[in-house]
């Protein structure tokens, strides 16, 4: 994996005020970390491999932050805060994580924020669900004002929600679990115990199961290329995928009223072909429904940027919100 990648000139002298922050996005296979200055600009970034288990996850985050800091002549103790996004169930207030299966974390609660504060020597470490921090990052990087949903299309399907300017976690933290909304009368069995969940049709895993990669490239890329070339089987699977993603968009807008839906996650790397397919389905639905047409769903869908370290930026922003800046008091002469 790549080492520290400086994005702007940074020196130790420039960060002595301890106003810089780090954001870390911990995925099942890789860690993406970014260093932000006092103005919220990304000054350096690093990607490393993820280690599994409690010790592995902690070490992965610590090493990523240390490498970021070393690249600008800083130590982690010089940071104002660190934010971390992880999959699974996360208590944002306490920083306790559980059920992050692809990180090797099971049902037992893990006080990840506390463990990282001890290892890094940083006073403020915030831990949040990875899709939630991606929503915050998308709003920041794309400069989106107003409510939004970040629809993560990856191994599974879930949405991060920003409503009234704040993350909406919901009771038990399950707000935005759009992937487990059953889709019509479709009957595929979902591991969650239900049948016909949208995740079985809209996720990258669904594409991989229906159209396995034959040339070692991501299955979504091969599927959409084959569909563009006119392969009838690929066209059918691509259209089903686009319909499922479009249904996610409709459900998110109709239930939360978000102004914008950002398509993110690994599948969004398809770029324009994915956006065109989803928008096409939305327009077809609008053609037969004056109500849907009035909502202009096709104009409310955007792609997450390929670059920009969206989730890492969102994690840092979340941590920054938890930092209480000292009050400057004038001293009489």
Architecture of domain 143-303 in this structure? 2-Layer Sandwich (3.30)
Query: Given this model, what pLDDT does residue 102 score?
Result: 83
CA distance 277 to 298: 11
Query: Given this model, what pLDDT does residue 326 score?
Result: 43
Query: Given this model, what pLDDT does residue 103 score?
Result: 92
- Structure tokens, 324: 């209480």
Residue 57's alpha-carbon distances to 90, 102, 103, in angstroms, are: 14, 11, 7
Q: Using only the alpha carbons of the chain, give its radius of gyration.
A: 21
Residue found by looking up tokens 């409510």 in the block: 147
Residue 1 has a CB neighbour count (10 Å cut-off) of 10
Name 106's Cβ contacts closer than 8 Å, sequence gap at least 6: 98, 99
CA distance 249 to 198: 11
Q: What is the pLDDT along the chain (333 residues), one digit of tens a residue?
A: 455 555 444 444 444 546 899 999 999 889 999 999 988 899 999 999 999 999 999 999 999 999 999 988 889 999 999 999 999 889 999 999 998 888 999 899 999 999 999 999 999 999 999 999 999 999 999 999 889 999 999 988 999 999 998 999 888 778 898 988 888 666 777 777 777 789 999 999 999 999 999 888 999 999 999 999 999 999 999 999 999 999 999 999 999 999 999 999 999 999 999 999 999 999 999 999 999 999 999 999 999 988 879 999 999 999 998 875 443 333 343
CA distance 134 to 152: 9
Chain region(s) in the chain for CATH 3.30.420.40? 5-133, 143-303
At residue 298, the 3 state secondary structure works out as helix
CA distance 315 to 40: 12
CATH class as words, domain 5-133: alpha beta
Widest CA span of the chain, in angstroms? Answer: 82
Q: Which of 122, 127, 144 is nearest to 74 (CA)?
A: 122
Residue 206 has a CB neighbour count (10 Å cut-off) of 26
DSSP letters, 202-216, are: HSHHHHHHHS--SSS
């Amino acid at each position: 994996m790549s080492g520290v990648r400086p994005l702007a000139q940074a020196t130790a002298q420039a960060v002595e005020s301890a106003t810089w922050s780090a954001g870390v996005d911990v995925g099942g296979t890789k860690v993406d970390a970014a260093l932000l200055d006092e103005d919220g600009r990304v000054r350096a970034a690093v990607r490393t491999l993820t280690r599994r288990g409690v010790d592995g996850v902690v070490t992965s985050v610590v090493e990523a932050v240390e490498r970021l800091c070393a690249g600008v002549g800083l130590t982690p103790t010089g940071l104002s805060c660190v934010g971390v996004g992880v999959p699974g169930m996360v208590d944002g207030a306490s920083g306790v994580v559980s059920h992050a299966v692809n990180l090797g974390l099971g049902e037992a609660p893990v006080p990840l924020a506390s463990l990282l504060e001890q290892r890094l020597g940083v006073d403020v470490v915030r831990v949040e669900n990875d899709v939630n921090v991606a929503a915050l990052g998308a709003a920041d990087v794309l400069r989106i004002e107003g409510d939004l949903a970040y629809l993560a299309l990856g191994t599974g399907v879930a949405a991060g929600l920003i409503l009234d300017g704040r993350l909406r976690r919901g009771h038990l933290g399950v707000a935005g679990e759009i992937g487990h909304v059953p889709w019509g009368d479709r009957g595929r069995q979902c591991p969650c115990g239900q049948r016909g969940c949208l995740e079985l049709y809209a996720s990258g895993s669904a594409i991989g199961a229906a159209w396995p990669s034959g040339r070692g490239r991501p299955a979504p890329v091969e599927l959409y290329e084959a569909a563009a070339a006119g392969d009838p089987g690929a066209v059918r699977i691509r259209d089903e995928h686009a319909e499922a993603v479009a249904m996610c968009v409709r459900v998110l807008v109709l239930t939360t009223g978000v102004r914008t839906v950002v398509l993110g996650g690994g599948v969004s790397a398809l770029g324009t072909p994915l956006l065109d397919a989803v928008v096409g389905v939305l327009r077809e639905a609008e053609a037969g429904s004056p109500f849907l047409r009035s909502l202009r769903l096709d104009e409310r869908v955007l792609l997450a940027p390929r670059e920009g370290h969206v989730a890492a930026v969102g994690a840092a922003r979340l941590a920054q919100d938890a930092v209480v800046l000292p009050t400057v008091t004038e001293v009489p002469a």
